Structure formats: C-alpha cells, structure tokens
Amino acid sequence: MDNGKKLTSQKQDFSAWYNEIVHQAELASHSPVRGCMVIRPYGYRIWELMQGSLDAMFKATGHQNAYFPLFLPKSALDREAEHVEGFAPETAVVTHAGGAKLEEPLVVRPTSEAIIWPIVRDWIHSYRDLPILLNQWANVVRWEMRTRPFLRTTEFLWQEGHTAHVSEEEAEEETRRMLGVYRTFMEDWMAMPVITGRQTDSERFAGGLRTYGCEALMKDNKALQAGTSHNLGQNFAQAFDVRYQTEAGEHVYVWSTSWGVSTRLIGGLIMTHGDDEGLILPPKLAPYQTVIVPIWRNDEQRGLVLEAAGRVRAELEAAGVRVHVDSRVGVNPGAKYYDWERRGVPIRLEVGPRDVEAESVMAVRRITPAGADRKTQVPMAGATEWLGAMLVSIQDEMFSAARDRRDAATVRGVEDYTEYRNLIETQGGFAFTGWCGDAGCEQQVKDDTKSTIRVIPDEEFRSETAPVNCLCGAPSVCEVVRARAY
C-alpha cells in the first residue's frame, strides 16, 4: 500500500507534504498528460460524497441537472468579448477531427456559458418559462501554466450551475443563495470555515457583472478560493440573444448567473485538516467513517475475533455508518493502523481476543494526537451509539479547530504598509485592511508582496470599526481581506 515512510514535516515544506499525502493516501496519481490528474478510487469516493451532498442541496433549492456538449464552436466563445479575452489564453482547441482539418475549430470547454446559452435560449419564450435553474456535473479544461494535484489541474471535475431570471434582483438573489449553499457545504460537511464576500473587478469572472467567492485559509496560511458564484447580468443574454416575452408583451433579455465548485475542494480538505501522519477526513466526507482492525494470534482467535468484528460491523451498517473490516491476512495490526491513519479514517476500532473476552472494542480517534492515552475502551453493547455520537463530535471539533486556527492567523486593522508587507512575508494568513478602491493600487500591492485582495467581506465578517486608510495611505472605501493565495 505504501513505502512505509513517514511524511515530511509540513512546517519545512508544505508543498512536499501535500504531494506525499495525495499519493500515500491514494487519492490521485500523475497522469502521462501534462498537468492532468488521475483520481484513484479512494479519492474519487470522497468526490462522490461531496457530489452527493451538494447535489441534494441544489435539488432542494429547485435546480435540475442537465448535460451540455464538451466542445464549444470557436465562434460561440467569441460572442462575448470579455469572456473570450479572459479564457482564450488557457483554452485547448481541436483543429483536426475525423482525419481532416475542421472548417471551424472546436474549443474544449473551460466553462460552458458559450454552449449552454445558445441551446437554452430556445427553451425560453415567456416569463412563465423562468427561472431556468440548471446544474451540470462535468469536466472542463483550462491550460494553466502551472499545475498542482487537485488545486490546479489542466482537466478538472466540477459542477457548474447556470440560471436565467426575469430580473436583476432575482439573479442577484440566486447568486447570493448559491454562495450560501457553498458556505454551508464547506463549513458543515468539509469542516472548513470560509469568509464569503464579493471579488474585486480584477478577480471578477470574465464577462460577468459581479463575482462572489468563498475564501478558506490553509494550514500554511495561504488562502484558497474554494468556490465562486457569478451574477452575469445581461451580458451573456445579449451575446447569445436570450430573451423572453414579459406579461406586457415586450421582448427583453434574461438575467443569468453561474456558480461552481471543483475537485479543488479535495485539495482544500487535505490542507485544512491533514497532519504529519497523513490525511484527516471529516466524518461526513470519509469513505470509511470507521475501520475495524481485528487482531489475532492463531486460527481459533481469528475466528472469534472476526465473528465479533462482523457483529459490530453489521450493527454499525444498520445504523448507517460507513464501516470497513480490515481482515487482511499477513499484515500486522500496526501496519493496518498506519494505513488507515494515513488515509484519514476518523475512528479506528480494534477488536482482539482481550476485547472479545471483555465484550468491548478499543476505539482510537484520528484527531487525537498520538500518545499513551488515546485509546478508549467502549462496551460492545453501546458501541453503535457511542460511535454515532463520536462522529458528530469529531465533525464539530474539526470545524472548531480549523476556525480557531484561521482566526489565530487573521490580523485586523493593519494600515502601515511596511507592517503589512512584513506580516505577509513572515507569517501569512488573512489580513483585514482598508482599500482605496483603485485597481492600480491593488495591482501594485500584488506585484510587491504576491498577496491579493481575496474578497470584500460580507458584513458579518467585517471589523467592528471600518479601516480609515488603504495601505497606500489614501482614504479607504471598503474593508478587504488580503492574503497570499493558491
């Protein structure tokens, strides 16, 4: 399963630590194709669990799944000027197919607005056809210069929501609603706290009106944009002539939105919770919420222990717990412990002859640091209730720990530029500062410190007293969150 080596220290080289976890926890493999990734079954199972809960939330907010073509005619992408300018440098283009040169090149979708709206426009005639609330689970391709497993890959899996509305207010409401859905998912399922807010114009979706995002802070104090929600205004409706007839009989353009999260979230999960022993998964997204490791010395004990393990498993399964019995022969219990710790399983249950005798199981929580007293003896009779409650508790503890770490790495009220630069270069983290609103100033700080304005935070995240000045000394027009980011 692995090469038996300890992980490197995350303090020394977070990037190497991250890559080792990805490989040792069997989440992904390198692809022979540049910058692409192979998601292995264990990693894909995490994605499936993410898909499941997100999809349920999309359905609960009235959305329906659909599927649209992988290829965009180049002319369609060209329809929205800012959109094509934003995405053209990173598109892959098919020029030949069927043994001949194509009359019109096809662009492998970097996002699907340019294929969805030319199609969906024919579904919309009247105000009674609106809103259109669609979601697509798909892969997209963006030819980025630099790639990292899950965080930035040439090809990635995601969901993209696309909606059309009768008014700007409705579109804005939808944009904000889905940002909220993302936040709920990230915090309640991933146990990853985020700051929500609006992006500055320089970070806005190409062709959109307003972009909102969720920003998380990784363990190395770098920010990760975990999801975005865009109010596209009428830009795409105009580009693709998507109109409807109002009650009064006028033909007017729809207001559209789009929003997406990707397999990048798996990277966020790793970098929010992992430690030197490997991955740590929140119970709600763990392929196995518990793994039972049977321990025996001879065939007789093996029979007894496996029988007891089987009973515990059956009871847990009946209670809806995702459980696995690691009954591999010829692998020592210790080796199994390391395997499942590396793969982030929240609770390990050990069942040996002594436990069978005492009618109990030995439970070990992944989030408790290695040490003498981390094992808890749990009576077999109440094991299912104990474990169910413990999974809930672990989910909460993980969120609290991540939020505390994020808050501890957050600084407010910095106005002096030297102090800011020093902060970013030494400890990193989120810095709440003022901003003059000038894009030139934003760019200057970026060039200078490699840090960017991550988000203009929503009200609940703002400081009690608004900053007076921007880092440049000019009066601040709004508070912003700055950080170095992935």
Give contact residues for RNA (rule: CB under 7 A).
1-6, 15, 19, 30, 34-35, 89-90, 142, 144-148, 151-154, 156, 158, 203, 205, 225-228, 260, 262-264, 277, 295-298, 302, 329-335, 337-339, 341-342, 350-355, 362, 364, 370, 374, 450, 485-486
| Tokens coding 472 | 């440049």
3-class DSSP state of 201:
helix
Between 17 and 244, whose beta carbon lies closer to RNA?
A: 17
Q: How far is the CB of 475 from RNA (least distance, A)?
A: 27
274/268 Cα distance (integer angstroms)? 10
* Residue among 235 and 476 whose Cβ is closer to RNA: 235
Looking at the Cβ atoms of 333 and 413, the one nearer to RNA is 333
Cβ nearer to RNA, comparing 1 with 439: 1
46 or 166: whose CB is closer to RNA?
Answer: 46
Dihedral (CA of 80, 81, 83, 88) sign: positive
Conformational region of residue 344, where left means phi above 0, alpha means psi within -120 to 50, and beta covers everything else: left
Distance in Å, CB of 124 to RNA, minimum: 27
Q: What share of the chain is helix, strand, coil (3-state, %, to 5)?
A: 40, 30, 30
In the bound state with RNA, the residue whose beta carbon lies nearer, of 288 and 337, is: 337
Least distance to RNA, CB of residue 13, Å:
9
Please report how close the Cβ of residue 459 comes to RNA at its closest, in angstroms: 23
Quote the least distance from Cβ 226 to RNA, whole Å.
7
Cβ 50 to RNA shortest distance, Å: 13
Burial class from Cβ neighbours inside 10 Å (0-12, 13-18, 19+) for residue 255 reads buried
Closest separation in Å from C-beta 250 to RNA: 35
Q: Is 130 in contact with 159 (CB distance < 8 Å)?
A: no
Q: What's the rounded Cα separation, in Å, for the pair 40 and 27? A: 5
Alpha-carbon distance of 107 to 278, in angstroms, equals 39
Task: Please say whether the dihedral angle defined by the alpha carbons of residues 293, 297, 301 and 302, taken in this order, is positive or negative.
Answer: positive
Closer Cβ to RNA, 130 or 309, answer by number: 309
Can you tell me the distance from the alpha carbon of 190 to that of 210, in angstroms, rounded to the nearest whole number?
26
